[in-house]
Structure 1
Amino acid sequence: MVKRTAEQRVLLDQIKQIADGLGQTLAPFCEVVVHDLLEPEQSILAIHNNLSGRAVGDPTTELGQARITDPDYPQVLANYANQFADGRQAKSTSIGIKDASGNYIAALCMNVDLTLFRSLQMAMGQFVQTATDGPKETLDPAGTDALRDRIDAFAARLATTPRALKTEERRALLGELKASGLLDVRRAMETVAAHLGVSRAAVYSYVR
């Protein structure tokens, strides 16, 4: 058993706590592993959401060995392609942990199983597909484009955005819209409220 300093013991304990929290947050899609690089032959101290089939006490990986032999090895390797033993594709991130002397003592590793996400990506791609030769139809009430354009132009004159308009500026805007007849457009109040990011009741109060 390798003798560790008090600082190293504290660091390893804190890393285990971080791994526990990450594991709970990212379950069940992300495996979170803590490696003790002071004992590379049995480096795995903790493993959460086990996706790789490894166990506590298993040896370190090639990255662990590289960090042990080279203190200048990159501390963070993020989002690199990886693969589980059964062939499932993974996205991995490995974070090396150094002690006060600048030597690697541990690694916190995260391995995301991409299988489900790629299935979802394909399903979503199919779901959002639309026919290019279908009929032309709009579900937006006539005139709402002009209403939004007028709001955008008003905000642009003030060098701001519709959602950043102040109360008095909104009152002035509604006055302009009313005078131009744009508030007579069907569902005008709902359109204005959505574009300004406020409630319909607030829009009615600006018109008074």
Structure 2
Amino acid sequence: MTKRTPEQRLLLEQIKQVADGLARTFAPFCEIVVHDLLDPSHAVLAIHNNLSGREIGDPATELGLARILDPEFEQVIANYPNNFADGRQVKSTSVGIKDSEGKYIAALCMNIDLTVFQGFQGMLNQFVAIEADAPAKESFDPAGSDAIRARIDQFAAKLATTPRALKASDRRALVQELKAAGLLDLRRSMEIVAGHLGVSRASVYGYAK
């Protein structure tokens, strides 16, 4: 068995805990693998949400071997195309783990099976498809509603947040801005603002005073 320093053993144990937490969060769509690069012949130290069919003790991948040979090899490689042995398309991210001497000792890898999401995407595309040349066209959205929502989105973006996450003081400033721009004069404006902010119409009336 490859000799490891206390620091290296601690790092390996900690990265196993990180892998366990990630696996629970992203189950069942994301495979999480911990590679022990100190033992490349038996590198797979832990594997969660097993999608690739690999086993504990399997050898290191080409990427793992590259890190072993070159301490300057890129540490984080995110969202690169990959494939499982059966041909399924995969989006992978690999994070190299170094010890205090700058030596790669492990890698944390995340592999997402894209075929699952491609199936979802196909179904959603079919579900949301509309007939562009249909004889009837109508809208239940009052005129100007898009302008109100766009103004709210812009206001929230400037604060690096979302409309529903705005603080009460920010919501008041926003509604006053909408009022000054004449957007509250549009039909059903209060209802549109309330819906986009996730608050009651009474709150919006209060902010507008």
**TM class by shorter-chain length?**
0.7 to 0.9
1:136 is aligned to 2:137: yes
Q: How does 1:35-184 map to 2 (within 5 A)?
A: 35-134=35-134, 135-141=136-142, 144-145=143-144, 164=170, 166=172, 170=176, 173=179, 182=185
Q: Secondary structure at the match of 1:100?
A: coil
* Distance of 1:172 and 1:17 partners within structure 2: 49
Question: Normalised by the size of structure 2, how large is the TM-score?
Answer: 0.79
Structure 1 residue ranges, 4+ long, deviating more than 6 angstroms after superposition:
none
Q: Secondary structure at the match of 1:166?
A: helix
Distance change (3 Å), C-alpha of 1:133 and 1:11: same
8 A contact 2:179–2:208 mirrored in 1: no
Counterpart in the other structure of 1:201 = 202
Distance change (3 Å), C-alpha of 1:165 and 1:24: closer
Instruction: Name stretches of at least 5 consecutive residues in structure 1 with no aligned partner.
Output: none
8 A contact 1:171–1:206 mirrored in 2: no
Greater gyration radius: 1
Give the share of equivalent positions with the same residue, in percent.
Answer: 58
One-letter identity of the residue aligned with 2:203: A
8 A contact 2:34–2:108 mirrored in 1: yes
Counterpart in the other structure of 1:191 = 192
Counterpart in the other structure of 1:6 = 6
One-letter identity of the residue aligned with 2:18: I
8 A contact 2:31–2:110 mirrored in 1: yes
Give per-residue Cα distances to partners, 1:46-75, cap 9 Å, x unaligned.
000001111111111001111111111111
Shift of 1:207: 7.3
One-letter identity of the residue aligned with 1:198: V
Instruction: Name stretches of at least 5 consecutive residues in structure 2 with no aligned partner.
Output: none
Shift of 1:166: 2.6
Question: Normalised by the size of structure 1, how large is the TM-score?
Answer: 0.79
Give per-residue Cα distances to partners, 1:76-98, cap 9 Å, x unaligned.
11111111111111011111111
8 A contact 2:71–2:104 mirrored in 1: yes
Give per-residue Cα distances to partners, 1:110-164, cap 9 Å, x unaligned.
11001110011111111111111121211124xx428966xx6xx99xxx9x974
* Distance of 2:21 and 2:52 partners within structure 1: 19
